[in-house]
Amino acid sequence: MHHDLQVLADPAAVARAGAVFVAERARAAVAASGSFHFAVSGGHTPWAMFAELASEEVPWEATVIYQVDERVAPPGDPDRNLTHLTKALGSAPARVQPMPVNESDLVVAAVSYAAVLPEHFDLVHLGLGPDGHTASLVPADPVLSVTDRLVALTEPYQGHVRMTLTYPALARARQILWLVTGDDKREPLQRLLAGDRTIPAGRVEAAASLVIADRAAA
């Protein structure tokens, strides 16, 4: 998959540019279809981006936010992406569809989350790990081979089982936005841009892709 690349000075500039891009996509989607379907990953950079979105014109009332992935942890846990997403949104009246990671049967919960996903995402935000993972599609995990489900569970990774969108779900994206910062991302970013499918991120396919990276990563 081809990736457009934008390199900026530092993480703050990446967050700012990401916010401008998200706001533009949101307005265009709402103008075209009346709603904006946006899937968000975890990590420090997206929360900085959400802070910048406060100064942008975003049609929050017509926005539905989905989680790309989530750790199986109690509600409010600082390891939960939802904890940070809720804080980052503040009073913005977007509708959030949280991953149901506190259900007793997580396999059934994954199926139920798949059922609420849209036919197409207007925008999917992804990050990039130093090991080349994205979403919770992590190296050597059986989840990488899931092609018949939109949502699946990982083996324990960094202390948590995770629920994640799979490659078929990410392929529903009309646009992917990668936010990549830090010198520990330099090697995986080079591999992503080169189309290296031996890292999980390199196997993502979607209609279009923009990478916004800081100088340290690029």
pLDDT in tens, 174-194: 999 999 999 999 999 999 999
**Chain mean pLDDT for the chain:** 96
Q: What is the Cα–Cα distance from 51 to 19, expressed in whole angstroms?
A: 8
Give pTM, 2 decimals: 0.96
Taking 90 as the threshold, does the pLDDT of residue 157 lie above it?
Answer: no
Phi, psi of 13 (to 5 degrees): -70, -35
Model confidence at 54: pLDDT above 90: no
Q: What is the mean pLDDT of residues 5-16?
A: 97
Write down the H helix ranges in 2-97.
Answer: 11-33, 44-53, 81-89
Query: Residues 14-28: what's their mean pLDDT?
Result: 97
- The arithmetic mean of pLDDT across residues 12-24, rounded, is 97
The single residue listed with the structure tokens 């934008």 is: 6
Q: Which residues of 158-189 are buried (b: 16+ CB within 10 A; e: fewer)?
A: eebebbbbbbbbbbbbebbbbbbbbeebbebb
Locate all alpha helices (DSSP H) within 121-199, ordered by sequence. 167-170, 186-193
State the pLDDT confidence band at 42, using cuts at 50, 70 and 90.
Answer: confident
Distance of CA 33 to the CA centre of its chain: 22
- In this predicted model, what pLDDT tens digit does every residue of 103-123 receive, in sequence order? 999 999 999 999 999 999 999
For residue 158, the model assigns a pLDDT of 85
* Bridge partners, residue 151, by sequence: 165
